Amino acid sequence: MTSLFTDPMVEPTARAIADALADAGVDPTMGEQVVGLLADAGVTVVWRYYRDGGWFGKATKGAKTIAWLAVETEGVGVGVHFAERLRDRLLAADTLSQHLRDQIAATEPISGGRLVSTQLTVRTAADLADLRGLVALKLAAR
């Protein structure tokens, strides 16, 4: 993921995110919709600046990291990591679009083969549905 917010002095507030998305031709409420979807699942998003990439939102529930967010030129980028052993569960999930399941099937594992990283750019209601499915699967994962 590549964040549009790279200046450490310019925090991605709701207004700044809406403006950046509007400039990119994406529904300016998409950032709020993503954060709202996460909040409805009991997930908190905290934006932090990282010197090696800019501002990223860490979405957590308790001590568990659920997802990473970035405002990108195409929309709201969301990264969710699952244990590789859960790949079959992801591929069988009817709450995910076929496109996303195909992407997961083609993704090479990371971290020495222990993780499968799922990347989603949220631009539309269909993307929000995929995100909802990913969050539910991540929250249910052990």
Q: Does 58 reside within a domain?
A: yes
Domains held by the chain: number: 1
120 found inside a domain:
yes
Asked whether residue 2 carries a pLDDT value surpassing 90, the answer given is: no
Structural domain of 76 = 14-140
Query: Is 4 a domain residue?
Result: no
Decide if 21 is inside a domain. yes
Mean pLDDT computed over every residue of the chain:
95
The pLDDT tens digits of the residues spanning 51-100 come to 999 999 999 999 999 999 999 999 999 999 999 999 999 999 999 999 99
Instruction: Evaluate whether residue 5 is within a structural domain.
Output: no
In a domain, 2, yes or no: no
The answer on pLDDT for 142 being more than 90 is no
Q: Is 6 within the bounds of a domain?
A: no
With a CB cutoff of 8 Å and minimum separation 6, the contacts of 49 are: 8, 11, 55
pTM for the model stands at: 0.94
The angle formed by the CA atoms of residues 84, 89 and 95, to the nearest 5 degrees, is 125
Q: Would you say residue 9 lies in a domain?
A: no
Which CATH number does the domain housing residue 42 bear? 3.30.1460
